[in-house]
Amino acid sequence: MAEHTSRIGFIGLGIMGAPMALNLIRAGYSLIVHNRTREKEAALVAEGAQAAASPRDVARQADVVITMLPDTPDVEAVYFGPEGIFQAVRAEHLLIDMSTVSPAIARRIHDQAVLAGAESLDAPVSGGDVGARAGTLSIMVGGSTAAYERAYPLFQAMGKNIVHLGDAGAGQVTKACNQIVVALTIEAVGEALVLAQKSGVDPHRVRQALLGGFAQSRVLEVHGQRALDHQYDPGFRVRLHRKDLAIALNAAQDLGVSTPVTALVHDMMNSLLANGLGDRDHSILIDELARRANTEIR
């Protein structure tokens, strides 16, 4: 096991954060952890981490602070709140937000960090809890090259496909782009498979045939198979994907970008939530398209 001198703070020990923190411990890092629901710290403490009472406490003790939080209000509270990271920020700090939030928030954290002489990175991930546990996350990074290089060994402990996209916010922009493409490709696969089903053509065979040509995608492969198997345990929840599309739509609105299909699929996800399906896998969009056509993929 490697030894590292800098102390790493990790805030947010949910379904993603906990295994990411664990991978850092296993790579030889000393961790100071915090979670709003404090009981969740215990599992990491059992692995050698130290618990801290607040984000501010984490920042006091650590040189690098990583955050992995569910949504924008959580990130705002953890960074800017009265017990937040910025109450204890120092010039030595590297702040890495790996949550998925808007590029605007990433830039706000960055500006505030710079004011204190510190550094920050936005580094949202994809790959889900499976990737988090396996240490194979894709990590999309925005921020300075110096900060990126400083963080790189940490990213290596948590992910595999690590890409530096540009300045502050570029990681979140890329994540938003990723979520647009995934959502719209699920919709594409859904419209096609439902048409096949209702035409009396076996959607299993259609999926197989389409994988051999220009219609090929990871979504057709993975989510197409999920729809055929009616396997909608998450995976990636509709609720979270809807949140990510809302981030994309807000960014698009700020910039004057026409994203008609993102808006439409966001709206369909609203409908899934309204029908109590927010905690199912996002591929259930295909099932909803089948329902609208009064059929079932089988």
CA–CA separation, 263 and 267 (whole Å):
6
Window of 80-88, 89-97, 226-234, 259-267 that interacts with its own copies by CB under 8 A = 259-267
* Least distance to its own copies, CB of residue 65, Å: 24
CA–CA separation, 293 and 198 (whole Å):
8
Q: Which is nearer to its own copies, 134 or 222 (CB)?
A: 222
For the chain, how far is it from start to end, CA to CA, in angstroms? 49
Among 103, 109, 147, 284, binds its own copies (CB under 8 A): 103
Q: Residue 74 contacts by C-beta under 8 Å, 6 or more apart in sequence?
A: 12, 36, 99
Burial class (CB in 10 A: 0-12, 13-18, 19+), 115: exposed
* Least distance to its own copies, CB of residue 80, Å: 23
Among 91, 199, 233, 274, binds its own copies (CB under 8 A): 199
258 binds its own copies (CB under 8 A): yes
Among 47, 92, 111, 202, binds its own copies (CB under 8 A): 202
Q: Which is nearer to its own copies, 54 or 259 (CB)?
A: 259
CA–CA separation, 291 and 298 (whole Å):
12
Do 234 and 272 contact (CB within 8 A), yes or no?
A: no
* Least distance to its own copies, CB of residue 27, Å: 21
CA–CA separation, 26 and 131 (whole Å):
16
Q: Residue 253 contacts by C-beta under 8 Å, 6 or more apart in sequence?
A: none
Do 235 and 204 contact (CB within 8 A), yes or no?
A: no
Do 199 and 185 contact (CB within 8 A), yes or no?
A: no
Residues 260-279 that bind its own copies (CB under 8 A): 260-262, 264-265
Among 121, 180, 240, 284, binds its own copies (CB under 8 A): 180
151 binds its own copies (CB under 8 A): no
Among 240, 248, 284, 286, binds its own copies (CB under 8 A): 248
CA–CA separation, 250 and 267 (whole Å):
14
Q: What is the size of the binding site for its own copies (CB under 8 A)?
A: 70
**Catalytically annotated residues:** 175
Burial class (CB in 10 A: 0-12, 13-18, 19+), 58: buried
- In the shown chain, the binding pattern of residues 109 to 138 toward its own copies, with x for contact by CB under 8 A and - for none, equals -----------------xx----------x
* Least distance to its own copies, CB of residue 92, Å: 28
Within 13 Å of residue 97, how many CA atoms lie on the same side as its CB?
Answer: 36
* Least distance to its own copies, CB of residue 70, Å: 19
Site residues, its own copies (CB under 8 A): 103, 126-127, 138, 140, 142, 161, 163, 165-167, 169-170, 173-174, 176-178, 180-185, 187-189, 191-196, 198-202, 205-206, 208-210, 212-220, 222, 248, 251-252, 255-262, 264-265, 289, 292-294
